[in-house]
């Protein structure tokens, strides 16, 4: 485990043992699926929003006389703000809860999209993108944390991975099609404005329905709110987020001392052993992966147009390449159930490096570029989704929100810098510059990820403990949760 010294973080306490037992006994119910659907729909539109700069880039370049570096700078603003949004959401989420931050971030994203549609010039568009980034950044890191905390040890990896199936997978795949639809319905110089406006509308509906999503039982238990945690566990076991006659089962027993206070969370703890030894290598790895992915996403339509294709054709080809994203995210979510995290991340990063080089040296025709491009996106989303699975497992509940946010913020920081560099390299070296940069970044990823600990099958509160607790517990779980609900 990279030489780090593991220290207990409370997994041996009766409440944490009972929590693992309760979530394992409850399993996956319709309530889990409802929560997953409400979170995934929001993340889908987040992904659409992250792709808009690449979709409107050719139009903005012609209309406002922008350069490739200018387009990259739009992403710089967006993802620098996303990094800030993730960090603040992580700190506030650990203090005030995950649920409230999920709603606030989606509202910010909606407001930013509306302002993008109304932007009169490049400067105002940059400011609007900053608001979008702040909301999107906090939304995704909060979503990953919540799903990991709602689910059983066995299913938590798949649940967290499914966030990226909706966002990075289907979101990236359908974004070009969404752009083509809007550009077909609203032709002319203002077509890009309609694209931003269309993204703001569905988010309001998601915010409305998300009010039914409860706080996570792990967070409530970490705050000493045992009664509320038992209520949420009972809701999950009932199979509905709005049960008509909820019977609350005492999955978690209160401590003998009713006045005992939960251990106070502190973001500073993240920069002490053993958590610092986990955070640094994983943060560097995701910085490399996000930087490579976002550079390619942003510049791909321009790359196809530089090859002589029309805007419509370029968006269609970009969509074909993004088909690999869907398969990669789905595969990672499945692997999260069966395979150790570091093995998936290590092998996947080597394959991503090879695929990037294949685009440059073997992509001698459009068909080969499409094939190797889709293969590249497959491994990119396999890695990014696996990181999302890995990150929540690195930290105990009291600092998990900020820990996940810090790691994902590193990816956002890459998105604020690397696309600008990639745009410069594209202007001067073409595809060789863009994909050569991507290949080198995945080589660094492969090295860094081996420095972190393995978390598969381990407790979310203490990596020295297995996730599967003994059958004997202070609470009798011989009957299924559904029978007791």
pLDDT tens-digit readout, 366-417:
899 899 999 999 999 899 889 989 999 999 998 999 999 999 888 777 766 7
Q: 222 near 398, Cβ under 8 Å?
A: yes
Mean predicted lDDT score pLDDT of the chain = 83
Among the residue ranges 85-89, 230-234, 427-431, the one predicted with the least confidence is 427-431
DSSP E strands: which ranges in 186-275?
none
pLDDT digit string (tens) for 269-320?
888 888 999 999 999 999 999 888 878 877 887 788 888 888 778 878 877 8
pLDDT tens digits along 145-155? 999 999 988 88
Contact 196/53 with Cβ under 8 angstroms? no
Nearest to 279 by CA among 376, 467, 405, 153: 405
Specify the pLDDT at position 352: 95
pLDDT at 349 > cutoff 50: yes
- pLDDT recorded at residue 256: 60
Percent of the chain with pLDDT over 90: 34
- DSSP type of residue 468: S
Cβ–Cβ < 8 Å for 22, 251 = yes
Name the band, by pLDDT with cuts 50, 70 and 90, for residue 341.
Answer: very high
Greater confidence, 286 or 14? Answer: 286
Task: Look at residues 157, 60, 181, 227 and name the one whose alpha carbon lies nearest to residue 386.
Answer: 157
**The pLDDT of residue 264:** 59
> Residue 392 is encoded by which pair of tokens?
């929540």
What one-character DSSP code corresponds to residue 217? H
Angle, in degrees to the nearest 10, between helices 275-306 and 311-338: 150
Whole-angstrom distance, CA of residue 449 vs CA of residue 453: 9
Between 157-161, 181-185, 305-309, the lowest mean confidence (pLDDT) is in 305-309
Residue where the block lists tokens 């199936």: 165
pLDDT tens, residue by residue, 80-112: 888 888 899 999 999 889 988 888 888 888 889
- The pLDDT value recorded for residue 244 is 86
Question: What band does 53 get if pLDDT is binned at 50, 70 and 90?
Answer: confident
pLDDT of residue 485: 39
User: What pTM, to 2 d.p., does this model score?
Assistant: 0.78
Residue 41 or residue 124, greater confidence: 124
Assign 419 a pLDDT band (cuts: 50, 70, 90).
Answer: confident
Instruction: Report the pLDDT averaged over residues 446-461.
Output: 91
Chain position carrying tokens 């998936």 = 344
pLDDT of residue 483: 43
pLDDT on residue 263: 57
Give burial (CB, 10 Å; 0-12/13-18/19+) of 355.
buried
- The pLDDT of 224-237, averaged and rounded, is 94
């Amino acid at each position: 485990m990279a030489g780090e010294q593991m220290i207990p973080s409370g997994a041996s306490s009766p409440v944490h043992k009972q929590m693992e037992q309760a979530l394992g006994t409850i399993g996956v119910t319709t309530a889990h699926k409802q929560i997953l659907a409400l979170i995934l729909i929001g993340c889908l539109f987040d992904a659409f929003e992250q792709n808009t700069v690449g979709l409107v880039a050719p139009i903005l370049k012609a209309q406002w006389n922008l350069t490739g570096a200018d387009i990259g700078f739009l992403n710089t603003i967006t993802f620098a703000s996303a990094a800030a949004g993730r960090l603040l959401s992580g700190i506030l989420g650990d203090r005030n809860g995950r649920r409230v931050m999920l709603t606030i971030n989606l509202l910010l994203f909606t407001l930013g999209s509306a302002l993008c549609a109304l932007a009169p010039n490049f400067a105002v568009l940059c400011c609007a993108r900053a608001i979008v980034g702040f909301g999107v950044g906090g939304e995704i890191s909060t979503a990953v944390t919540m799903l990991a905390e709602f689910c059983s040890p066995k299913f938590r990896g798949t649940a967290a991975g499914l966030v990226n199936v909706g966002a990075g997978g289907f979101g990236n795949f359908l974004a070009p099609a969404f752009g083509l639809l809007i550009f077909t319905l609203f032709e002319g110089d203002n077509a890009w404005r309609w694209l931003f406006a269309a993204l703001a509308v569905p988010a309001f509906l998601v915010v409305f329905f998300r009010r039914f999503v409860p706080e996570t039982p792990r967070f409530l238990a970490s705050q000493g709110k045992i009664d509320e945690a038992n209520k949420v566990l009972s809701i999950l076991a009932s199979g509905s987020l709005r049960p008509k006659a909820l019977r609350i089962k005492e999955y978690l027993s209160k401590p003998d001392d009713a006045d005992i206070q939960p251990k106070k969370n502190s973001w500073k703890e993240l920069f002490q052993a053993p958590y610092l030894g986990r955070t640094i290598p994983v943060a560097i790895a995701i910085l490399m992966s996000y930087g490579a992915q976002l550079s390619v996403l942003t510049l791909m339509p321009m790359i196809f147009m530089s090859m002589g294709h029309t805007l419509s054709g370029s968006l269609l080809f970009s969509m074909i390449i993004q088909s690999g994203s869907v398969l990669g995210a789905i595969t990672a979510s499945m692997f999260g159930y069966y395979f150790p995290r570091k093995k998936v991340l290590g092998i996947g990063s080597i394959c991503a490096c090879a695929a990037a080089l294949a685009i440059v040296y073997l992509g001698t025709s459009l068909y080969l570029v499409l094939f190797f491009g889709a293969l590249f996106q497959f491994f990119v989303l396999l890695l990014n989704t696996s990181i999302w699975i890995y990150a929540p497992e690195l930290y105990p509940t009291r600092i998990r929100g900020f820990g996940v946010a810090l790691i994902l913020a590193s990816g956002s920081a890459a998105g604020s810098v690397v696309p600008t560099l990639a745009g410069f390299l594209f202007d001067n070296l073409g595809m060789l510059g863009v994909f050569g940069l991507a290949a080198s970044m995945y080589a660094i990823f492969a090295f860094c990820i081996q420095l972190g600990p393995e978390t598969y099958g381990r407790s979310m509160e203490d990596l020295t403990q297995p996730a599967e607790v003994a059958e004997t517990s202070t609470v009798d779980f011989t009957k299924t949760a559904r029978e007791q609900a």
